[in-house]
């Protein structure tokens, strides 16, 4: 191998090492950004779940709604027939 070929190979290796280092830095930066976004998402999800704990379940809400409908119907019946 000639000196010119060796210099060319060394240059190519240096360029590849530089590209590898840049790709690794971008990957690390991306991992940090994704981690921060997941942390914010987890905090928002915790807020939503905590707010939902104070509300009645769908079964309770539908039961109350149904009972109110029956009571209103019976009240109207009693008022109109007696």
Tell if the pTM clears 0.85, that is, is over it. Answer: no
pLDDT > 90: percent of the chain: 68
Which residue, chain included where needed, has tokens 């060319």? 8
Predicted confidence at residue 53, as pLDDT, reads 80
Predicted confidence at residue 81, as pLDDT, reads 85
pLDDT tens figures, 6-16: 999 999 999 99
pLDDT > 70: percent of the chain: 100
Residue 69: pLDDT over 80: yes
């Amino acid at each position: 191998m000639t000196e010119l070929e060796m210099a060319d190979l060394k240059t190519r290796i240096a360029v590849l090492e530089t590209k590898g280092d840049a790709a690794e830095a971008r990957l690390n930066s991306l991992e940090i950004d994704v981690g921060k976004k997941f942390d914010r998402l987890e905090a928002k999800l915790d807020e939503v779940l905590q707010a939902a704990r104070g509300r009645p379940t769908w079964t309770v809400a539908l039961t109350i709604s149904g009972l109110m409908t029956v009571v209103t119907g019976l009240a109207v019946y009693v008022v109109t027939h007696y």
